[in-house]
Structure 1
Amino acid sequence: MSVLEPQTEQDAASLVIPLTPVPADQIVDGAPEAGFIELTAVVGVWEHTPGTSTDVEDDEVFVVLSGRATVRWAGGELTLRPGTVGRLSAGTETIWTVTETLRKVYVTGGA
């Protein structure tokens, strides 16, 4: 069951997101935790605590609700803060450096 049922609303900033430690092979620095709540098959809310970790991205568009971070990849970087709208493409290998717990709403290219 989705946390967001049809014809309902939810305050994304106050959702309780279950966090788990980032896998050891993805941690660059610190002891970050991350988690998400899937709102539909392609929309969710994601959170990452302070620390640095790696990831391989899905095709997604997101809006940062709170926190601060930098996302780096071979071709550049994004500076994230509340209100940032960003896009990442599938297969991009990224390094996330989160300085303030980051929360974002995302839409993936999945079906």
Structure 2
Amino acid sequence: MSDDLRLITGALTDAPGLVLEHEPVPADQVVAGAPATGYQALDSSEAGEIGVWEMTPGAMRDVEVDEVFVVLSGAATVEFEHPIADPIMLAPGAVVRLEAGMKTIWTVRETLRKVFISR
């Protein structure tokens, strides 16, 4: 992470406006379509890492880390394969907590961008 991307006390970081480089989701994680993800770390401390993550339309499987995130833009559904739970609909303003080891399927209908803190 370059120093110019670290969060600076009292300074603004434009999370919705960050330009992210996208990479295709690995084939073994793709469920539908041809999704790609982009990511930018912003800061890290004992509390965890703070960053911005984005996924383009499509569906992918993932195994989660301990994380809390806020959706900035987009629309998606997250299904929980393990532990089994009701799916959640993501839209701007949604706040979600995930635990390490959860197995999920992310189905993105409109490019999804979130800001997160994880461990």
Give your verdict on TM over 0.5: yes
5 Å matches for 1:82-101?
82-101=92-111
Contact 1:4 1:10 in 2 (8 A): no
Q: Determine which of 51, 56, 67 is the counterpart of 2:58.
A: 51
Q: Which has the higher strand share?
A: 2
5 Å matches for 1:76-87?
76-87=86-97
Aligned residues: 109
Name structure 2 gaps, 5 residues minimum.
none
Any idea what the Cα deviations from partners look like across 1:33-66, whole Å, max 9, x if unmatched? Answer: 0021011131000000000000000011100000
Contact 2:70 2:114 in 1 (8 A): yes
Once the two structures are TM-superposed, the CA of residue 5 in structure 1 deviates from its matched residue by 3.9
**In the alignment, which residue of structure 2 is the partner of 1:66?**
73
Question: Structure 2-normalised TM-score?
Answer: 0.87
Distance 2:52 2:88 in 1: 19
Distance 2:25 2:78 in 1: 16
* Shift >4 Å, 4+ stretches: none
**In the alignment, which residue of structure 2 is the partner of 1:20?**
23
Identity of aligned residues (%): 52
Instruction: Give the root-mean-square deviation of aligned CA atoms.
Output: 1.0
Local SS of the residue matching 1:82: coil
**In the alignment, which residue of structure 2 is the partner of 1:6?**
8
Distance 1:85 1:9 in 2: 21
Matched, 1:37 2:40: yes
Local SS of the residue matching 1:13: helix
